[in-house]
Amino acid sequence: MSPGTRGLAIGFADVVAAAGRLDGRVRRTPVIALDRLGLLAKCESFQAVGAFKIRGATNAVLGLDPRGVVTSSSGNHGLALAAAAAAAGIPAVVVMPDNATAHKREAVARLGAEVLTSPPETEARNRVAAAAAEERGLTLVPAYDHPLVIAGQGTCGLEIAEQVGDAATVVVPLGGGGLLAGVATALRERCASALRIVGVEPEDGDDTVRSRQAGRRVTIPAPQTICDGARNTSPGELTFPIVEALVDDVISVTDAEVVAAMAALAAAGLVAEPTGALAVAGALRHGVRAASGGPTVCVVSGRNIAPAEHARLLLGAIRG
């Protein structure tokens, strides 16, 4: 890995190297117009595993060449790492919190990974994963706090720069910060300096909003948000400095606003899980599109939600 700019964990060269590794192994996802909303959607939900996480997981497996891997994940990173491990012919262990959805847990198991259960707090599940790595001789691949993972996610930003060269604003879902940090690293190099980059997290999982206010990483209680991919209790050690240096703003939205965004995406023909709809929810709540003066691109980061749960949430929004 090359040293990141300004002492950051990665630099633009790392994202370019990741793009070379991932060529032909992950999908170049489309950008489509959400005409009724006045937004553009970067459809990472169209990846083969249903989420952007396949970028970072595959880049890590290819870059590390491990004998086996382990991670802690609420679902999508575990799913992606299981798929990347299967493609490489190596074993995978995924530590999932006890509040992970059955839909994602079953999907990870179907790909051949062993699933272990842990308490929901970020530190607790990371301890279980670290113990499994030591006991079994596996390589730990964090969900977001690893240079190869961040760089892999950054390839999404490279594609946005190529697909929407005149973008004025890019809005990105935010959990641990791997996607936001990687996308920001790519976009700051490839796009005009006036480009605005915004991260969006749930109000009941606003660890990065609070950390930016405090000027340091802070820890919050285990979030209860429906956005299961953003239930982090603290920002990443590597991702937070990148977000601080390269991202213009981080905002939060309510679960009700997330469901409304899911409904708007469904009306446009896109299935999004709650975390995957965060960027659209943020753009709609905070009027990002109106203030930008140019195209606003929202990353729709994943679609992995049980059909019955998707229907339940949308029907509740309609009745409400």
Are residue 152 and residue 217 in the same domain, yes or no?
A: yes
Nearest to 218 by CA among 237, 242, 197, 245: 237
pLDDT of 178 > 90? The answer is yes
Last residue of a domain, one of 140, 173, 201: 140
Are residue 75 and residue 21 in the same domain, yes or no?
A: no
pLDDT of 278 > 90? The answer is yes
**Cα 233 to Cα 122: distance, rounded to the nearest angstrom:** 6
Are residue 202 and residue 301 in the same domain, yes or no?
A: yes
**Cα 78 to Cα 71: distance, rounded to the nearest angstrom:** 7
Are residue 47 and residue 58 in the same domain, yes or no?
A: no
Are residue 250 and residue 124 in the same domain, yes or no?
A: no
Interval 267-279 mean pLDDT: 97
Interval 4-23 mean pLDDT: 92
pLDDT tens track for 226-260: 999 999 999 999 999 999 999 999 999 999 999 99
Are residue 91 and residue 162 in the same domain, yes or no?
A: no
In angstroms, the Cα distances linking 261 to 214, 266, 279 are 29, 8, 9
Would you please indicate which residues are annotated as catalytic (active-site) residues?
53, 74, 201, 205, 207, 301
Last residue of a domain, one of 90, 125, 140: 140
Would you place residue 2 in the very low, low, confident or very high pLDDT band (cuts 50, 70, 90)? low
Write down the pLDDT at residue 130. Answer: 95
Are residue 214 and residue 109 in the same domain, yes or no?
A: no
Give the DSSP H/E element, type plus range, for residue 96.
strand 92-97
Write down the pLDDT at residue 293. Answer: 76
Q: What percent of the chain has pLDDT over 70?
A: 95
pLDDT of 166 > 60? The answer is yes
Mean pLDDT of the chain: 94
Would you place residue 15 in the very low, low, confident or very high pLDDT band (cuts 50, 70, 90)? very high
**Cα 103 to Cα 302: distance, rounded to the nearest angstrom:** 14
**How many domains, the chain?**
2
**Cα 282 to Cα 284: distance, rounded to the nearest angstrom:** 5
Cβ pair 45, 222 in contact under 8 A = no
Last residue of a domain, one of 108, 124, 140: 140
pLDDT of 301 > 80? The answer is yes
Q: What percent of the chain has pLDDT over 90?
A: 86
- Full domain range(s) for residue 236: 5-51+146-319
Would you place residue 319 in the very low, low, confident or very high pLDDT band (cuts 50, 70, 90)? low
**Cα 95 to Cα 194: distance, rounded to the nearest angstrom:** 41
Count the neighbouring beta carbons within 10 Å of the beta carbon of residue 213. Answer: 11
CATH of the domain at 36: 3.40.50.1100
Interval 186-193 mean pLDDT: 88
Write down the pLDDT at residue 125. Answer: 86
Q: Tell me, what amino acid is at 152?
A: G
Please state the length of the chain. Answer: 320
Question: Distance from CA of residue 286 to its chain's centroid?
Answer: 20
DSSP 132-201: HHHHHTPEE--SSSSHHHHHHHHHHHHHHHHH-TT-SEEEEE-SSSHHHHHHHHHHHHHS-TT-EEEEEE
Are residue 182 and residue 273 in the same domain, yes or no?
A: yes
Biggest CA–CA distance in the chain, Å, is 54
SS3 content of the chain, % helix, strand, coil (to 5): 50, 15, 35
pLDDT tens track for 193-223: 789 999 999 999 999 999 999 999 999 998 9
Are residue 308 and residue 184 in the same domain, yes or no?
A: yes
**SS3 for 49?**
coil
Instruction: List all residues 6 or more positions away from 83 whose beta carbon is below 8 Å from its beta carbon.
Output: 48, 49, 54, 57, 58, 111
Single pTM value for the model? 0.94
Are residue 94 and residue 153 in the same domain, yes or no?
A: no
Are residue 98 and residue 197 in the same domain, yes or no?
A: no
**Cα 70 to Cα 72: distance, rounded to the nearest angstrom:** 7
Return the minimum-mean-pLDDT range out of 32-36, 289-293, 297-301: 289-293
pLDDT of 18 > 50? The answer is yes
Would you place residue 1 in the very low, low, confident or very high pLDDT band (cuts 50, 70, 90)? very low
Write down the pLDDT at residue 320. Answer: 53
Are residue 133 and residue 11 in the same domain, yes or no?
A: no
